[in-house]
Amino acid sequence: MTTFVLQNIEETTALGQKLGALLKSGDCIVLTGELGTGKTAFTKGIAVGLGIDQMIKSPTYTIVREYHQGRLPLYHMDVYRIEDGGLELGLEEYFEGDGVSIVEWGQQVQDELPASYLQIKLNYTEIQNERTIQFIPKGLRATELSDAIIKNMLGV
């Protein structure tokens, strides 16, 4: 597992944009980390990378927000308030759909996640506005994505 340091919210959003440019139909990204670590900012960057220029808002109270303007649909989920998994929400319809699924707080619906997903863990550091980011792939496609974004970050 590789850990990188992001100096500010702009770097977080820019990295999301780079990842968004790599995403394909059916990809699932699971964002984890404490409140305020930049999960929605990262998602905003992904949206830009997908060609979506709508304002991206956290779906905390709506659970799922759909964006269909870019090269692929974006399904942005926030399952922070979900208890006992998300089976009744029908999340698998999004995972099996034609777009990209971003799941904030994905550990809340662990059993409902697809077989392949890229977990991205954001954490605070002791320096204000700085975050660490880790890529934890589950499955072949997620490993391909993780390798590609890590190579990009390393300038390889």
pLDDT at 80: 78
d(CA 68, CA 10): 24
Confidence class for position 60, pLDDT limits 50, 70, 90: low
User: 3-state secondary structure string, the chain?
Assistant: CCEEEECCHHHHHHHHHHHHHHCCCCCEEEEECCCCCCHHHHHHHHHHHCCCCCCCCCCCCCCEEEECCCCCCEEEEECCCCCCCCHHHCHHHHHCCCCEEEEECHHHHHHHCCCCEEEEEEEECCCCCCEEEEEEEECHHHHHHHHHHHHHHHCC
User: How many structural domains compose the chain?
Assistant: 1
Backbone phi and psi for residue 136, each to the nearest 5 degrees, phi listed first = -125, 95
What type of residue is 102? I
**What are the structure tokens assigned to 87, written together?**
């089976």
CATH of the domain at 89: 3.40.50.300
- Percent pLDDT > 90 in the chain is 62
Q: Which domain covers residue 22, as residue numbers?
A: 3-154
Mean pLDDT over 139-155 rounds to: 92
Is 63:90 a contact under the CB 8 Å cutoff? no
pLDDT at 54: 86
- Percent pLDDT > 70 in the chain is 92
pLDDT surpasses 70 at 28: yes
Is 123:33 a contact under the CB 8 Å cutoff? yes
pLDDT at 27: 97
d(CA 119, CA 112): 14
